[in-house]
Amino acid sequence: MDRAQKEKVVDELGQIFESSGVVVVAQYTGLTVAEMQVLRARMRDAGGAVRVAKNRLAKIALEGKPCESISGLLTGMTVLAYSEDPVAAAKVVDAYAKENQKLVIIGGAMGETALDAAGVSSVAKMPSREELIAQVVSCIGAPASNIAGAIGAPASNIASILTTLEEREAA
């Protein structure tokens, strides 16, 4: 790899560290190519990506970035999983690490906050952006359906009272 290629990799990694909601660092010693492809596919489906880069280049790219604190985690065979959604990458990596013991979560970063392995697991348990949006929409929609029910209720009550009165007069 010549100097120009290294500079390009450092720029790409810098953009990843700058724009990602979460970055997860894991060791993948012993992971086969097929197993890594499964991880990449799951991450892609969740809206994230997986990147293997030389630790030295990643450390250079981290300089001055919000998640600079994770540079100490970059030792050995490390893989970076990242996503714009602050929860997606953590969910995928945490689930895959539970399935495959060869992938070991070391830590990560969420913005300027450094995370250890337990922190990444905690982030993975949080609801994703889509789940939060669904919860907010259901909270907003619930009062509207209650209002519609309350508005319709007096009319149905009046109708049932009128029906009862008609039945009494007929009897």
For the chain, the domains span 3-126, 127-171
Q: Which CATH class is domain 3-126?
A: alpha beta
Instruction: Say if residues 102 and 29 touch (Cβ distance below 8 Å).
Output: yes
Phi and psi at 31, nearest 5°, equal: -75, 130
pLDDT of residue 130: 77
Low-confidence stretches of the chain (pLDDT < 70) are: 141-159, 162, 171
Model confidence, pTM: 0.72
Residue 166, pLDDT score: 78
| 141-158 pLDDT tens trace | 666 666 666 566 666 666
Q: Cα-flanking dihedrals φ and ψ of residue 65, to 5°? A: -90, 160
Query: DSSP of 19-51, one letter per residue?
Result: H-SEEEEEE-TT--HHHHHHHHHHHHHTTEEEE
How does pLDDT run across 82-96, given as a tens digit for each residue? Answer: 998 888 899 999 999
Which one-letter DSSP state was computed for residue 128?
A: -
- The number of CA neighbours under 13 Å toward the Cβ of 43 is 25
